[in-house]
């Protein structure tokens, strides 16, 4: 048999088979590409949906926060706007009373220099009429008391309230320790003129005498100014005490209130 005709027949057949296989493979690749494209489209759609969901959640969070703030505000309204319909009228009346009282006080003071001690705030104010000149932190009576079990004597450590006058002034006062100072430290109380009663430097460089044993004086514990810490006197820092001593004459009125 001649080999040449056989070869000519086999070659076209092999080519046809290869072309068929190639075409089938190309179709498979095309289908896979289409599937990938559809999957990509689905992923993009899902991503867009997630993005919309995230934006919606953020919007809901902002709305919730705003609603919480509104709720807090509404709950606080009763404190700002009482239900009593006469509240505003009452405030107006109080404002009118304050104006009237200020006028009465100003008329009584007649522009005079005076000292005001706010025992609750532990502040001292030097004023001329209704005009504030300057202020200072002070320490008033700490409150409470002390009982001497041996003698039965009791002392109250409060600063008296009311109207006083500066009945005297001085420099470098020498403290005569009262009986309570010894009872407080657990020491025996000495005779009235015993040398152990007299202490230098305890009251600062100056003092203003308000009478009945109460003074405006200095202190070694200036870190306590602004708080109630004394046994009844009004304690003042050294710089403010000197300013007070030099600017407040004897006879000046002192008002202590709470």
> Burial level of 253, CB count in 10 A (0-12/13-18/19+)?
middle
What pLDDT does 55 receive? 78
Q: pLDDT value at position 142?
A: 93
Q: Establish how many alpha carbons lie within 13 A of residue 87's alpha carbon, considering only the half-sphere containing its beta carbon.
A: 8
Does residue 134 contact residue 230 with C-beta atoms inside 8 Å? no
Instruction: Return all residues near 29 (Cβ < 8 A) that are at least 6 apart.
Output: none
pTM: 0.60
pLDDT of 77 reads 47
What does the pLDDT read at residue 152? Answer: 82
Low-confidence stretches of the chain (pLDDT < 50) are 1, 74, 77-78, 80-81
Beta strands 234-236 and 214-217, pairing class: parallel
Structure token pair of residue 235 = 């304690």
pLDDT of residue 33: 65
Which of 80, 84, 74, 161 shows the shortest CA–CA distance to 116? 161
**What is the per-residue pLDDT for 99?**
60
């Amino acid at each position: 048999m001649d080999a040449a005709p056989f070869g000519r027949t086999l070659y076209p057949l092999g080519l046809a088979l290869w072309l068929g296989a190639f075409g089938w493979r190309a179709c498979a690749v095309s289908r896979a590409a289409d599937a990938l494209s559809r999957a990509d489209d689905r992923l993009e759609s899902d991503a867009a949906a997630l993005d919309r969901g995230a934006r919606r959640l953020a919007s809901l969070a902002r709305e919730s926060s705003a609603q919480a703030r509104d709720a807090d505000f509404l709950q606080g309204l009763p404190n700002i706007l009482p239900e009593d319909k006469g509240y505003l009228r009452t405030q107006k009346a109080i404002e009118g009373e304050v104006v009237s009282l200020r006028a009465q006080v100003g008329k009584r003071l007649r522009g005079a220099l005076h000292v005001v001690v706010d025992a609750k705030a532990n502040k001292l104010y030097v004023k001329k009429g209704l005009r504030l000149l300057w202020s200072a932190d002070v320490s008033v009576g700490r409150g409470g008391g002390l009982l001497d079990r041996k003698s039965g004597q009791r002392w109250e450590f409060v600063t008296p309230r009311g109207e006083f006058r500066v009945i005297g002034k001085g420099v470098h006062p020498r403290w005569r320790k009262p009986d309570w100072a010894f009872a407080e430290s657990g020491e025996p109380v000495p005779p009235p003129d015993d040398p152990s009663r007299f202490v230098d430097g305890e009251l600062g460089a100056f003092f203003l005498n308000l009478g009945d044993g109460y003074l405006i004086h200095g202190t070694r514990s200036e870190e306590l100014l602004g708080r109630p810490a004394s046994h009844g006197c009004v304690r003042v820092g050294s710089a403010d005490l000197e300013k007070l001593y030099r600017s407040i004459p004897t006879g000046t009125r002192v008002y202590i209130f709470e």
